[in-house]
Amino acid sequence: MDGLSDENKRLVQQMELEYRRKGAALSEDEFNELTKLNLKLEELEVSFQRNIDSRDEKTLFTRGELEGLPDTYFKDREIRDIGGGKKYVVSTCSADYYLLMNHAQLESTRRAMFLVQNNRCTDNVHVLNTAIQIRQEKAKLLGYETHAEYALEPHMAKTPQAAYDMLTELRKNLTELGSKELEQLEQLKRSDMHAVGKIYEGFFEWDRSFYANKLSNQNFSTSNLRCYFSLPQVIRNMFELYQTLFGVTIVEMENPRVWHEDVEMYELWEADEETFVGHFYTDFFHRPGKSRISVHNIRSGYNDETRQYPVCAIVACFAKPEPSTPVLLHHTEVEMLMGELGRVFQNMLCKTKLAKFHGCKALEQDFVETPIQILKDF
């Protein structure tokens, strides 16, 4: 180990840990049993995610039930005739769901949408219960007391007790602040109920986003900032910022070979435009099966005898623009996009000898969000 580079030392340490966690120390019979458990878990994980991705549920509301939503919410939205009246179709995709939960004034509407969203994929209850049981069996077979002990070993926390202690301390520090904020939210709802002559019956989970948004707008409204945050302008300015920050040049490719017409492809060069860095894709608009903003590492970069260039993609679920209606982002969406684009550049600019340590893979999983959070706050 003394003659190894830091990167190779880390490789040896991680390989030893990974081989042990994959059953290298087990007997042949035990290893065969572990293989069966892993296959069952893989099947359950695929089934669990497929259920979520394929179950965008839909529900119907009248225009009155959607009071508080902006006019753009109704543009080109599907309408159905129900009992002689017209109702709008609202799905559980993030673009529909979160805007409704933030702005729908009627509690009955928020409650109905919340229940539709959180009762999707009832098949996953059985899938999850089965996975929990198999994970515990796997942990025991590998010599751990619990799945939590197995799962935390390669992370910074290391042990369930360390994680529990951190969460306990965090809860203690946040409880007083959280209680004060909850009192403010409850008071807002009490005032609303009093204004329409209704009895206050409690504060529920489907109230949280709406009143948190209302409280935020009372203290500092960001809703009037949307006109400054059109998606093309935000992307252009973020590209300029990251080009300056990291000393790179972004070049959009013309007529690229991509998986959908909405996708754009870019080359990344060092600022001198003589050293190529890699490619990345942007896929920003809603389609069935897409649920949230995320970054996907398509190909890792590494330095061996030659340079293997990285490729990654940022995927989001923004409403598709109309010729006369640009996509306007909320301030929280701008922050989120800033952070995820930071993850793109973390993947693109990382230079390692080994693909195993490329980008986010070089970090422990419970530290991996820290660089992105710093960029988002910046």
pLDDT tens for each residue of 263-306: 999 999 998 878 999 999 999 998 887 777 889 999 998 887 78
Nearest Cα neighbor of 61 from 26, 28, 97 is 97
Q: Could you tell me the pTM of the whole model?
A: 0.68
- Say if residue 145 is exposed, middle or buried (CB neighbours under 10 Å; 0-12, 13-18, 19+): exposed
Q: How is residue 32 written in tokens?
A: 């065969």
Nearest Cα neighbor of 113 from 88, 80, 83, 77 is 88
pLDDT tens, the chain, 378 aa long: 778 888 889 889 989 999 999 999 999 999 999 999 999 999 999 999 988 887 788 999 999 999 999 988 998 899 999 888 899 999 988 889 999 999 999 999 999 999 999 998 889 999 999 999 999 999 999 999 999 999 999 888 899 999 999 999 999 999 999 999 999 999 999 999 999 999 999 999 999 999 998 998 887 766 678 888 999 999 999 999 999 999 999 999 999 999 999 999 999 999 887 899 999 999 999 888 777 788 999 999 888 778 899 999 999 988 888 777 788 898 888 988 998 998 899 889 888 888 888 887 777 777 777 877 877 776
Phi-psi sector, 53: left (phi>0), alpha (psi -120 to 50), beta: alpha
Distance CA 350, CA 362 (A): 9
- Say if residue 5 is exposed, middle or buried (CB neighbours under 10 Å; 0-12, 13-18, 19+): exposed
Residue 221, pLDDT score = 66
Q: How is residue 197 written in tokens?
A: 């002559």
The bridge status of strand 58-61 relative to strand 79-82 is unpaired
The one-letter amino acid at 132: I
Nearest Cα neighbor of 295 from 332, 242, 336, 327 is 336
Residue 43, pLDDT score = 97
Distance CA 234, CA 316 (A): 14
Q: Which residues contact 143 (CB under 8 A, 6 or more apart)?
A: none
For 87, phi and psi rounded to 5 degrees?
Answer: -130, 145
